[in-house]
Amino acid sequence: MATPFRVVITDFIKDDLAPEKEILGDLATVEAFDATSEDQLAGKIESANGIMLYHSLSLTARTVQHLNECKLIVRCGVGYDNVDHALARIHNIPVSNVPDYGTEEVADSAIALMLALTRGVNYFNVANRDPAISWSYLNAAPLHRLRGQTFGMLGLGRIGTATALRAKAFGLKVVFYDPYTQSGIDKALGITRVHTLAELLPQSNILSIHAPLTPETHHMVGAAELAAMPKGSYLVNTARGAVVDNQAVLAAITSGHLAGAGLDVLPVEPPANDDPLLVAWRDPNHPAYRRIIINPHAAFYSVQGLMDMRTKGAFAIRCALLGQPIPNVVN
C-alpha cells in the first residue's frame, strides 16, 4: 500500500535510515540527501511533508517560503539557529527541536575539556611529543587545585544544569548567569545565581558556555569580557561557536591572560584552513598549540545519543503527520 507522506532528511545522516523507517515507514517514504549546503536541496524538498534537519546546513527564507506541503521541520539537535523559524511560523510551519538527546554527553564533554585544561593533561600530551622539551611537571606550571575555585556558567538549561551538578562533584563553587531560568533553581541545585554577566566574569576561574546562539548572545563573550575574567582563567565552549569571539580568545591566549580554552564548537564548521585561530593552534611555536583544544563539534556524540536524536526527531514528525501534539515546538 502506498504511503501518503514524504519525509526528507536534509543532511548528516547517510545510512539505510532503519531507525527513521521503523517509526515512519507505515506513513511516509523517507529519503536522505546528505547535503552540505542549502543549494543542494533546491528542487528536492519543496513537496516534503516533514523535514529532519541536522547541523551541516541552514534552511533560510529562500527555501522555507517554498515548503508548501510541510507539516513540521524538526531540528534534530538542541540549537535551532540554522532554520528561519520565524518565517516558518508565518507560513504555518511548526519548527521543533530535540533538546534532550545529548544532555549527558555534552555535560561530560564540558567537564572533560575543563579537566584536560586545568590539570595540564592537554599541555603535557602536546608538549612532550617534542624530545627537546624536558620531562617535567613544571612545563605547565602553575596548576592550581580545583576544589574551591569558581566554575562560572553562562546559561543554565538542561545541559547547563547537568554540567553544574558534575562541577559540584569536583568541589567547585558553581555560579551562573541566565536571565531566562526560573527563580529558585539555584536553591534547588545548591549553586549561586548572579544577575549580570559583569558579576559572573571576575569570579570565574573557569567559564563554561551553555547558551543558545541568538542575536542577543552573538559574541556575548568578546575581548572586554575575557579581560574581565581573572588572569590565568580558562574558557570552555560546548554550546555555539559564535557566542564567543574566537579571535578575542586567541588574543587572550597569546597575551597569557587566558591559561587555556576548550572549544568544541566554532562559528563556521568545518573552519577555513586560514582561520587565524586554526593557524595558531597548528603552530608549535604559538602558545595556542598547547593551550587550546579544538574538537569537531563532537560533544553531543555517543552511539546512544545519536540514536536518541534520530528516533525522537522521527517521532516528532510522526506526531505532525498524524495531527497529534508535537513535542518541543520552538516557534
State the catalytic residue, choosing from 85, 193, 240, 310. 240
Grid cell for residue 193: 545565581
- The reported pLDDT for the residue numbered 2 is 66
8 A C-beta contact, residue 33 and residue 8: yes
Per-residue pLDDT tens listing for the chain (331 residues): 567 999 999 999 999 999 999 999 999 999 999 999 999 999 999 999 999 999 889 999 999 999 999 999 999 998 899 999 999 999 999 999 999 899 999 999 999 999 999 999 999 999 999 999 999 999 999 999 999 999 999 999 999 999 999 999 999 999 999 999 999 999 999 999 999 999 999 999 999 999 999 999 999 999 999 999 999 999 999 999 999 999 999 999 999 999 999 999 999 999 999 999 999 999 999 999 999 999 999 999 999 999 999 999 999 999 999 999 999 999 9
8 A C-beta contact, residue 221 and residue 235: yes
Cα torsion angle, 243, 245, 249, 252, sign? negative
Question: 113: buried, middle or exposed (CB in 10 Å: 19+, 13-18, 0-12)?
Answer: buried
pTM of the model as a whole: 0.89
Grid cell for residue 46: 519543496
- The reported pLDDT for the residue numbered 1 is 53
Q: Give yes or no: 62 in active site.
A: no
What does DSSP say about strands 192-193 and 206-209: parallel, antiparallel, or unpaired? Answer: unpaired
- The reported pLDDT for the residue numbered 236 is 98
Q: Give yes or no: 46 in active site.
A: no
Rounded to whole angstroms, the Cα distance separating 232 from 125 reads: 20
- The reported pLDDT for the residue numbered 272 is 96
Q: Give yes or no: 297 in active site.
A: yes
State in Å, rounded, how far the first CA of the chain is from the last one.
35
- The reported pLDDT for the residue numbered 79 is 87
Characterise 325 by phi-psi region: left (phi > 0), alpha (psi -120 to 50), beta (else). beta
State the catalytic residue, choosing from 62, 144, 269, 282. 269
Closest residue by Cα to residue 113 from 275, 238, 22: 238
- The reported pLDDT for the residue numbered 3 is 77
8 A C-beta contact, residue 320 and residue 94: yes
State the catalytic residue, choosing from 91, 218, 286, 297. 297
Q: DSSP string covering 238-305, please?
A: -S-GGGB-HHHHHHHHHHTSEEEEEES--SSSSPPTT-HHHHHHT-TTSTHHHHEEE-SS-TT--HHH
Chain mean position to CA 324: 29
